[in-house]
Structure 1
Amino acid sequence: MVSRLALFCVLSSLAMAGCASKPPSGSDAARTAYVPVAGQQSLLGRDKAGNPDGNPAFAAFRNAPGRKSFGSLAGRTLTVSSISEIRLADKEVILTFDDGPIPGKTDQVLATLRQYGVKATFLMVGQMASNYPAIARRVVAQGHSIGGHTYNHANLANAGYTRALTDIANGNAAVSRVTGTPVGFFRFPYLADTGALRQAAADRGLVILDVDIDSKDYFKLSPETLAANTMARVRAKRRGIILMHDIHGRTAAMLPTLLAQLKAGGYKVVALQYRRSRMPQLLVDAENASSKPRRM
């Protein structure tokens, strides 16, 4: 049985590597894989209304006296089937979260997004979604869009063309199986891609989400510093896709401050939805591969 300590070590390695930076060729970070935790259960219960995200701490957060609705932060919804269709106006941002889901932290992010009335896109690692299927389904149930982030967060630029496509397909298939939702968005781990892989992904119907504003939340900074740094980058860019990670407690802690500052600055959070023009071939490939009989 794989210990919980093993998962902690893997997540720690990923946190230090940083999803938005390319690790050196052949490094341990490039080979890092998420390790399943046998018997791991969700930390959450149900609230009085029967909602599955009724953890007492988050329930107190949602029901605190004087809590206000920030629905005016929500902007338009973009329904896209290609990268070129993601066109943002001045002071429009898209919130994205990589590497999850994970108990507690993803749930806190969801609670904050719901409080502020905005939607985000979660780029899920296939193995993490398989480990925590209830949380993955909760993301979809609350109206957020989802995407793939490979099966085990490998550096695809160093993986070789065929192996990289298989990893993308397996990751997307795992997320789709868990959530019951087709996976249309994708982000390369470490933003490590190649022209050939980008073209192959686009040819198979995937919308690759690049990054305009990196929160750099993989560095061990205080939530206050993270919020201030991210907001400074938003002001400099004025629009774009924001990269965050829902596996970090500091990210979950800084998110209310960031959203409050976005609202105060007159920004709008744009929601992304995927319009499937055709069945992504990567998903078809993965499903076909899983259905082939194994040779004994």
Structure 2
Amino acid sequence: MTGKARTRIFAVITAACAALALGGLAPAAAQADPAGSISYVNLGDSYSAGFGSGAIVPGPLPGCLQTTGPSHVSQIAALPGVDLSINAACAGFTAEQVGMAAAALAAPLSTADLVTLTLGGNDLPWGQAVAACSTQGSDSGCDQATAALAAAIGSVGPRVHRTLERIDLLSPATILVAGYPRLFTSSTGDQPLISATHARTLNRLGDELNREIRAATRGTSAKFVPVLGPFNNHGFGASESWIYFNPANPVDPFNLHPTGTGYSQGYFPALAHRIDLGELAG
């Protein structure tokens, strides 16, 4: 996403916050939940919005895009007693924009029992790094791009932490922050998209991002949920890849996102393992 596009989305979310604060969502959110039900709110970026599965549709905020396909969010919402009060995950959102969306959703968050989200990935130039490290790039270009990526990772933690602090103040819910999977399986050797060497470099930087996000949960009630285990050997390049990539369209918005299988067999089990339905409904 370009800086110009991010500025435009940022302005849209600012306007949305003001509009929602005047009551756009408040009446519905103020209604009491049925006795014993678990109020569930989903926030975050494209990995929470289901990109890679289904078709793209507008979300509940202006400029927000989600998908219709099966995902960990739809599976959690289908658990006994769980009521998805709002899904406000939006593709392209930075950590700060996720925090602004949370501020706009103060009413449903105030009565939420469970919040899930992914955030932090859009604060880094992943797209540029993957392009520079692809077979269309060069070794020197990859080195420069990954060096820039590595230098920027340390700035993500404070942004994620501020957003989690904001959600903490707004909600008494159990907050589960899911990490990101390794995008590539390098053990199969060079791939049409990327060499095994460059794939390992990008995976290592992804691991560093996950560590930064995990550290950012400290001092908040949020819990980090890793997904590296379920996605092991299911990155792009694996015989059974759970990462979407359309070689006919390098700019497909679903590229390098989980497939429906990745959400259902990767994200959902990892998160479900941390969800105690009895405790949440109590």
TM-score (normalised: structure 2): 0.38
